[in-house]
Amino acid sequence: AQKITQTQPGMFVQEKEAVTLDCTYDTSDQSYGLFWYKQPSSGEMIFLIYQGSYDEQNATEGRYSLNFQKARKSANLVISASQLGDSAMYFCAMREPAQRAGNNRKLIWGLGTSLAVNP
């Protein structure tokens, strides 16, 4: 069964430093997609970055990059130059494979990592 594991319930980082949030996944499928979302205390779930299993390059989006290691089944999020506004819960998620779920595939979520950026 598909599963997402985020082993860091809480993380602290100093402002302007880089931080890596861990995400490992378990799937027997060859085609899958991985997402990272940010959820501040206000509640909105903000899409950050996407990595497809066949993408040859690691995804990047501004200060966010995804360290995708397919053989290790890891998709860690790297936030460079942390800002106070980065303090939030971060969720890693994997989309169900198409051949199994058909249309409107569900997202399988990790338990999240709470990041606190210290000034």
Partner 1 sequence: DTEVTQTPKHLVMGMTNKKSLKCEQHMGHRAMYWYKQKAKKPPELMFVYSYEKLSINESVPSRFSPECPNSSLLNLHLHALQPEDSALYLCASSQVDNVETQYFGPGTRLLVL
Q: Which residues are at the interface with partner 1 (CB under 8 A)?
A: 33, 35, 37, 42-47, 50, 52, 89, 91, 93, 95, 98, 103-107, 109-112
Burial level of 77, CB count in 10 A (0-12/13-18/19+)?
Answer: buried
Tokens 């993408």 appear where?
55
**Identity of the amino acid at 57:** Q
**How far apart are CB 16 and partner 1 at their closest, in Å?**
27
57 versus 103: smaller Cβ distance to partner 1: 103
76 versus 110: smaller Cβ distance to partner 1: 110
17 versus 87: smaller Cβ distance to partner 1: 87
Give me the long-range contacts of 40-43 (CB less than 8 A, separation at least 24): 40/85, 40/87, 40/88, 40/89, 41/88
Contact 90, 115 (CB under 8 A): yes
Give the whole-angstrom CA distance, residue 72 versus residue 94.
Answer: 15
**How far apart are CB 103 and partner 1 at their closest, in Å?**
6
What does the longest C-alpha to C-alpha distance in the chain come to?
47
30 versus 119: smaller Cβ distance to partner 1: 30
